[in-house]
């Protein structure tokens, strides 16, 4: 059994579908709907899906203190257990990757598999530069400027260059409208998130999905992650940091294909 008792489930959560459990850990500045929305119904066709919104996302109030990776991981596991899932796979995207890994190492009796997309075990120098800019822009309240930065950084080169001017402005407008209130706290946690010591302790089947045009998390970080987890598989998807926008169906099939082979 885990040495870490579960807290009361306190975060707002999304629950859909039926079948083997799948917990969802979303990215910074986003929410369950923002990260997984385009593929939620596809995931729910194969799984009982449970996702939590971090403080400042969805209907979860902002935190008054700095966020903790352990707390996010414990809340994710607690929500899944509260929904009747004794064991479950975990999908972690971007900041959700370290959350998923920490969930697997703090609660190994619960987590049966990991799918880690566009993520990292620790920040490199690119993230060390990019994340404070993101946090400062979010704290400034200038949502349009923040959205322009995020669109430039997050959309892959192929998809970005294919957008006509009107579509590009629409993308910026959509991004500005969907920025989570808790983005400054999320962006403050991300460079502190370091799960390198957790990697060799992950003892479940793991798939690392490498977003090959990613300007936030590089393919080098993806490879380091896969190399550090015993037996992890590494697959490429030709997108920037937003597979749910650029190649949602391909991303969905990678997740359900892997979890389908490794369902408890």
Q: What is the pLDDT of residue 263?
A: 75
Q: Which CATH number fits domain 13-125+183-261: 1.20.140.10, 3.40.50.1820, 3.90.600.10, 3.40.50.720?
A: 3.40.50.1820
Q: What is the pLDDT of residue 2?
A: 58
Q: What is the pLDDT of residue 4?
A: 83
Q: What is the pLDDT of residue 31?
A: 95
Distances, alpha carbon 244 to alpha carbons 77, 95, 142, in Å:
23, 15, 25
Q: What is the pLDDT of residue 226?
A: 98
Q: What is the pLDDT of residue 1?
A: 53
Could you tell me the pTM of the whole model? 0.96
Could you tell me if residue 117 is left (phi over 0), alpha (psi between -120 and 50 degrees) or otherwise beta? beta
Q: What is the pLDDT of residue 30?
A: 94
Q: What is the pLDDT of residues 58-72, one digit of tens each?
A: 999 999 999 999 999
Q: Do residues 231 and 258 touch, judged by C-beta distance below 8 A?
A: no
Beta strands in the chain (DSSP E): 13-17, 21-25, 48-52, 88-93, 111-117, 206-211, 233-237
Q: What is the pLDDT of residue 3?
A: 66
- Two tokens at 187? 């962006």
pLDDT tens-place values along the chain, 264 residues long: 556 899 999 999 999 999 999 999 999 999 999 999 999 999 999 999 999 999 999 999 999 999 999 999 999 999 999 999 999 999 999 999 999 999 999 999 999 999 999 999 999 999 999 999 999 999 999 999 999 999 999 999 999 999 999 999 999 998 998 899 999 999 999 999 999 999 999 999 999 999 999 999 999 999 999 999 999 999 999 999 999 999 999 999 999 999 999 975
The domain spans of the chain are 13-125+183-261
Q: What is the pLDDT of residue 148?
A: 96
**Exposure pattern of 122-150 as b/e (b: 16+ CB <10 Å)?**
bbbeebeebbeebbebbeeeebeebbbbb
Q: What is the pLDDT of residue 241?
A: 96
Q: Nearest-CA neighbor of 213 among 118, 127, 122?
A: 118
Q: What is the pLDDT of residue 264?
A: 56
Please tell me the number of Cα atoms within 13 Å of 173 on its side-chain side: 6
């Amino acid at each position: 059994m885990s040495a870490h008792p579960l807290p009361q489930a306190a975060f707002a959560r999304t629950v859909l579908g039926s079948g083997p459990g799948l917990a969802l850990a979303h990215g910074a500045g986003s929410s369950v709907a923002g990260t997984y929305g385009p593929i939620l119904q596809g995931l729910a066709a194969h799984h009982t899906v449970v996702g939590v919104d971090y403080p400042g996302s969805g209907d979860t109030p902002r935190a008054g203190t700095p966020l903790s990776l352990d707390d996010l991981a414990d809340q994710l596991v607690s929500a899944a257990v509260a929904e009747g899932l004794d064991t479950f796979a975990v999908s972690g995207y971007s900041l959700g990757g370290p959350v998923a890994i920490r969930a697997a190492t703090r609660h190994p009796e619960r987590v049966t598999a990991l799918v880690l997309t566009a993520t990292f075990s620790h920040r490199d120098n690119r993230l060390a530069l990019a994340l404070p800019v993101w946090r400062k822009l979010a704290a400034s309240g200038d949502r349009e400027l923040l959205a322009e930065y995020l669109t430039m950084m997050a959309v892959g080169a192929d998809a970005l260059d294919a957008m006509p001017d009107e579509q590009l402005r629409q993308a910026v407008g959509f991004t500005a409208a969907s920025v989570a209130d808790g983005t400054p706290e999320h962006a403050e946690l991300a460079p502190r998130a370091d799960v390198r010591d957790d990697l060799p302790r992950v003892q479940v089947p793991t798939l690392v999905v490498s977003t090959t045009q990613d300007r936030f998390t590089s393919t080098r970080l993806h490879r380091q992650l896969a190399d550090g987890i015993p037996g992890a598989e590494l697959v490429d998807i030709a997108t920037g940091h937003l597979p749910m926008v650029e190649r949602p169906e391909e991303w969905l099939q990678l997740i359900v294909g892997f979890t389908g082979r490794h369902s408890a």
